[in-house]
Amino acid sequence: MRPDTRSELAQRLFHYLDTGTTAMADAMFRNPVAAYTSEERLALEKRVLFRQCPLLVAFSSQLAASGSYLTDDDAGTPILLVRSASGRLHAFANVCRHRGARVADGCGIKRAFGCPYHGWTYDLDGALVDIPGEEGFAGLPRHEHGLRPLAVVEKYGLVWVRPDATPVDIDAHLAGLGPELESFGFERWHHFETRTLRPRINWKMAVDTFLEAYHLAVLHARSVSPIFIGNLCASDAFGPHHRMIAVRRSFADARDRRDAARDFLRHTIELYTLFPNTVFVHQADHVEVWRMFPGERPDAATVHLSLYVPEAPATDKARQHWAANVQLALDAVDTEDFRLGEGIQRGFASGAQDHVTYGRNEPALIHFHRSLERALGVERRESA
């Protein structure tokens, strides 16, 4: 983030502190409970959001070497990312063109991808290069049977895939957020660890967790509330995406406000929602990336937490430090937010209420759900 942007945000937050307020949406927002429980809504989200939107899959640094690859399945399309010998990054459907078996699992480095079923082999550019017993396939045009390409964009140290293979203008999609992402230098960051959670909540409820500071003082009273000021944030939209700044108590205690502005990240957390399903939690020395995906039912989600750090840890002490950071995040989000969310999801299923209300002091939450309705072509709900 540019220094002048952080300075402006700091002044805005000091104003909120001085006046006892926070960022506000233009109106409250009523969201039908069916948005979290409807099978039809879930099917629409999978078809539109998770096939037609660019989805963040990885950092470029995870695929730095020739032959490095990783797989990702949660959007519904099995994805294979691979770095070719020329340095080009490819995305393919992870499906053998013979009988449909997966050609890779997990991540690592390979020279080629051999199907475990009959041995059809593909090079790093997805071309079909070997067919055992080829006499049985005389006349088969190999050039038409390479791995099926998907649309992939690599920029700002990040990798997006669009599963329906439609080309992506990522800067148009980011709606002005690109330069801010570029400023972080993510191409140099190291992937430390990814942990996977499967809470019994709707995937959007998992995203909601990160979109307001209103709950900090109550739900997180024993964990992060002593560190952060509840019900205080700065809020800015970039098309369907969003930036929210949460504030540490040290920010209010700073004696010199100019120093607080200069040392902005020491006193705040920068949360970016990359529509439709990713949240970056950027702190002074690391970034958490949370990716949320729908499950088979409206009350099931898959959530991946990945921790990225400025450099690969070289000592046991460093590894223990970052492992502790992962656990701290899980203790708050999984143990507190998601556990509470499972109770909310059960309450939704009971039919006890037909809508929920987001307050004006929850602007990121309102923006996310308005953006969802626009993307899905769902009639916008009236304000409360």
Nearest alpha-carbon partner for 45 in 363, 350, 294: 294
Distances (CA, A) of 192 to 61, 186, 323: 11, 13, 8
Q: Which superfamily, per CATH, for 55-167?
A: Rieske [2Fe-2S] iron-sulphur domain (2.102.10.10)
HSE at residue 119, side-chain half, CA atoms within 13 A, is 5
CA distance 259 to 268: 13
Pick the CATH number of 3-52+176-376 from 3.30.1490.190, 3.30.450.20, 3.40.50.720, 3.90.380.10: 3.90.380.10
Give the domain ranges of the chain.
3-52+176-376, 55-167
Per-residue pLDDT at 384: 46
Per-residue pLDDT at 1: 83
Model confidence, pTM: 0.95
310: left (phi over 0), alpha (psi -120 to 50) or beta: alpha
- List, run by run, the mean pLDDT of 10-residue segments along the chain (384 residues): 88 93 97 98 98 98 98 97 98 98 98 98 98 96 97 98 94 97 96 98 98 96 92 98 95 71 87 98 96 98 98 96 95 96 97 96 98 90 50
